[in-house]
Amino acid sequence: MAKFKKDGKREVPAISTASLPDIVFMLLFFFMAATTMREVTLMVQNSMPEAEQTVKLEKKSLVSSIYVGRPTAQYQGSYGTQPKIQLNDYFANLQDINLFIQSERESRNEEDRNNLINNLKIDKDVTMGIVTDIKQELRKANSLRINYGARKKL
Amino acid sequence: MAKKTPEINASSNADIAFLLLAFFLATTTMNVDSGLFRRLPPYMENAEAPKVAKRNILQVLVNRNDQLSINGELADVSTVKQRTIEFILNTRNSKDKPSKKVVEIPLIGNTDVSNGIVSLQSDKSTSYAMYIAVQDQLTAAFHEMRNKRSNSQWGKDYDDLSDEQRTAINKAIPMNVSEAEPKNIKK
């Protein structure tokens, strides 16, 4: 017959958790590297319309964004409430778009230059007047690939 | 003899790391841009609009009150898709719908290609949301036609095709959406 020993020496040793922080740090670094913080601070209201047929923009390096919307509350005092165009970190006029496209092209490498996609991130309350003006400017700048920013309707 | 310092308990290290991890998870967004892709026509100085036979044009108008009309009749946005499909395909070969031309396309061979053009016109005061809704319907219409075509041709969905097959389908059903310069459309 087996004897039950009760001398306490046969306890399973506690699993060392010393490497747990390492694992978690690894996860942390992954997330820090994989995600990007928004590179421009939005100065305009930007709630995009919804559409069913949206496609994702795969190559991030080709995308340059143009924001359009009403200035947010903190800028309304100095810029009014009419829809404005935001390029990078400043409010722009229609004439600035050409220059903006030039500089965006300059910052890409040779083979990407002609494949630039202009991502038009336009607030859904904006009227078409300003949108068509922008499209016209883009045509003049010969940057013809555009993406009407829209969220996927679920 | 120097006193041994007791080992510092490191078990809370994990908690701190978890806290940081949770913070980054909450604050960052895996933000993928999405939208409707279009290619603009090149810019030309005082270009005159090419003359197109009336039967080949489906006129979609959106006025300043976000009301939509197709060929002059008021219509609802949700009908745009069906109307576009009927217009482009013209299955009954009727005289007031677009004519077709025979084109030789690699991988498919000789096939009928519709001459139909959807002319989308918006007012300066049309809301962008409405415009996107119409564009969405048009995209859906062409996507459905291409999907049907690729299913009858290769028995596969359009999205599953290879690049060459997709270009062939795109040639067989070209997305002819023309956007005229905006006007102030009267009510």
For the cut 70, the answer to whether the pLDDT of residue B1 exceeds it is no
pLDDT, position B22? 84
pLDDT, position B94? 82
φ, ψ at B10 (rounded to 5°): -105, 10
Cα distance between the two ends of chain A: 67
Give the mean pLDDT of chain B.
Answer: 83
For the cut 50, the answer to whether the pLDDT of residue B31 exceeds it is yes
Say if the Cβ atoms of A124 and B129 lie within 8 Å: yes
A62-83 pLDDT per residue, tens: 888 899 999 988 888 888 888 9
Contact B10/A at CB under 8 A: yes
Say if the Cβ atoms of A35 and B125 lie within 8 Å: no
B 61-80: CB under 8 A from A: none
Location of structure tokens 């009301």:
B67
For the cut 80, the answer to whether the pLDDT of residue A36 exceeds it is no
Say if the Cβ atoms of B14 and A21 lie within 8 Å: yes
Location of structure tokens 């709630």:
A47
Contact B152/A at CB under 8 A: no
pLDDT confidence bin for B161, thresholds 50/70/90: confident
Q: Could you tell me what percent of chain B has a pLDDT over 90? A: 11
d(CA B145, CA B142): 5
Say if the Cβ atoms of A129 and B125 lie within 8 Å: yes
Q: What is the pTM of this model?
A: 0.77
Q: What interhelical angle do B128-154 and B163-172 show, nearest 10?
A: 110
For the cut 50, the answer to whether the pLDDT of residue B186 exceeds it is no
For the cut 80, the answer to whether the pLDDT of residue B48 exceeds it is no
d(CA B115, CA B54): 11
Name the closest residue on chain B to residue A54, using Cα atoms: B35
For the cut 50, the answer to whether the pLDDT of residue B78 exceeds it is yes
Say if the Cβ atoms of B37 and A117 lie within 8 Å: yes
Three-state secondary structure call for residue A138:
helix
d(CA A50, CA B15): 40
* A to B CB pairs, distance under 8 Å: 153
Best residue in A15, A26, A31, A136 for a mutation probing chain B (most B CBs within 10 Å): A31
Q: To the nearest whole angstrom, how far is the Cα of B102 from the nearest Cα of chain A?
A: 29
Best residue in B128, B136, B158 for a mutation probing chain A (most A CBs within 10 Å): B128
ipTM of the complex: 0.74
For the cut 70, the answer to whether the pLDDT of residue A39 exceeds it is no
Q: To the nearest whole angstrom, how far is the Cα of A151 from the nearest Cα of chain B?
A: 6
B130-140 pLDDT per residue, tens: 999 999 999 99
Name the closest residue on chain A to residue B30, using Cα atoms: A35
Mean pLDDT of B57-76: 89
Name the region of A135 (left: φ>0; alpha: ψ -120 to 50; beta: rest): alpha
For the cut 60, the answer to whether the pLDDT of residue B184 exceeds it is no
Name the closest residue on chain B to residue A132, using Cα atoms: B182
pLDDT, position B136? 92
pLDDT confidence bin for B187, thresholds 50/70/90: very low
d(CA A44, CA A6): 73
Give the mean pLDDT of chain A.
Answer: 84
pLDDT, position A4? 65
Q: To the nearest whole angstrom, how far is the Cα of A78 from the nearest Cα of chain B?
A: 24
- Which run of H or of E encompasses B30? none
> To 10 degrees, the CA torsion angle through A4, A6, A10, A16?
130
pLDDT, position A9? 63
B121-132 pLDDT per residue, tens: 888 888 999 999
B95-130 pLDDT per residue, tens: 888 888 888 888 888 888 888 888 888 888 889 999
pLDDT, position A1? 56
Mean pLDDT of A45-61: 85
pLDDT, position B50? 73
Say if the Cβ atoms of B34 and A132 lie within 8 Å: no
